[in-house]
Every structure is written in C-alpha cells, then in structure tokens.
Amino acid sequence: MSSNFVDSQGSTLVVALAELEGHLSEVLKEVRRLRALARALEEENQRLRTIMFAAQAGEGGYQQLLRFYEEGFHVCPPHFARVRDGDGCLFCQSFLEKKGLQSHG
Ligand SMILES: [Zn+2]
C-alpha cells in the first residue's frame, strides 16, 4: 500500500517534470522568436531613421519619399511609415504625384 503510494507520487512527479520541461521549451522558443522579432524591428527602425534623416536633409525629398515607398512603406499622411503589405496605395500614389509635380516646378 505505502509503496504504491510512493510509486504513484513518484510517477506524478515525473509527469509534472515532463510537463514543466515541455513548457520551458515552449517558453524558450517564444524567447527566441521575440528576440528575432526585436532584432528585425531594430533594423527596420534604423532603416526608417536613416531614410527620415535623409528626407529631412531637404534635397531630393521627393526621391527619398519615392525610395521609401518603393521599399514598401506608406508615404501618405494617413499611413505614413507603416508597412504597405506589398499593395500599391492610392493615397501614396497621389501624394507622390503631387510632390513630383511640385519638385519639378
Ligand atoms: Zn499610403
């Protein structure tokens, strides 16, 4: 009786440990995923900053915006600097068109 009790407690512990290990590996996987995401965001942030600084520098603002748009970001005021999901954006296109006309006089 008492040895049965110990056995069942022991196997409960083994199961609990196995579950804990499973959770830990899930958590570690999540940590790795978040770390990769953080790195990607940092890189994107850096890229955006570079482009924004270049655009603010004045000269060639239209070209910078166009490049920014072609890199896959919105340049239109309602969605500025958001990722475009690969689709063309009518707001961006008309915004760029206006800017283009201005920059050519
Ligand atoms: Zn847009």
Give, in order, the Cα–Cα distances in Å from 46 to each of 40, 41, 54, 68: 10, 8, 12, 13
**pLDDT greater than 50 at residue 105:** no
pLDDT digits (tens, 9 = 90+) for 22-48: 999 999 999 999 999 999 998 888 888
* Ligand 1 center–CA 51 separation, angstroms: 16
* Ligand 1 center–CA 11 separation, angstroms: 59
Give, in order, the Cα–Cα distances in Å from 88 to each of 5, 63, 82, 103, 104: 68, 17, 13, 22, 23
**pLDDT greater than 70 at residue 90:** yes
* Ligand 1 center–CA 42 separation, angstroms: 22
pLDDT at 32: 96
3-class state of residue 1 by DSSP: coil
Containing H/E element for 8? helix 2-56
pLDDT digits (tens, 9 = 90+) for 68-79: 888 898 988 888
For the chain, state the CA radius of gyration.
27
pLDDT at 104: 55
pLDDT at 92: 92
* Ligand 1 center–CA 87 separation, angstroms: 9
**pLDDT greater than 60 at residue 2:** no
* Ligand 1 center–CA 49 separation, angstroms: 18
Local confidence band at 99 (pLDDT 50, 70, 90 cut-offs): confident
* Ligand 1 center–CA 33 separation, angstroms: 29
- Domain ranges (residues) in the chain: 1-57, 59-105
